[in-house]
Amino acid sequence: MAEPKKRQTRSRSNKRRSHLALKPTAPALCSHCRQPKIAHRVCGNCGHYAGAEVFVPED
């Protein structure tokens, strides 16, 4: 099996991995109450998801 002729430097390896970092997710707006929420999750403010009420908030 082929072996690399020289060791790859740390800086070269890190340059290759520079695009692997996770990017922060942008908040989506709830279609019912217009509050920011995480996309594809139930709204913690009003309890709605995809136009249906999933739970009643205790506020």
pLDDT tens track for 21-41: 999 999 999 999 999 999 999
Position 38 in a domain:
yes
* pLDDT at position 10 over 70: yes
Write down the pLDDT at residue 21: 93
Position 22 in a domain:
no
Position 11 in a domain:
no
**Whole-structure pTM value:** 0.59
> 34 lies in which domain range?
27-59
Residues 4-32 have a mean pLDDT of 92
- Residues of the chain with pLDDT > 90, as a percent, come to 71
- CA 12 and chain centroid, separation: 27
Position 33 in a domain:
yes
Position 20 in a domain:
no
Position 44 in a domain:
yes
- Tell me how many domains the chain contains: 1
Position 6 in a domain:
no
Q: What is the four-CA torsion angle of 7, 13, 15, 20, rounded to 10 degrees?
A: 160
Nearest to residue 32, comparing CAs of 9, 16, 48, 12?
A: 48
The band of 19, judged by pLDDT with boundaries at 50, 70 and 90, is: very high
Distance CA 16, CA 12 (A): 7
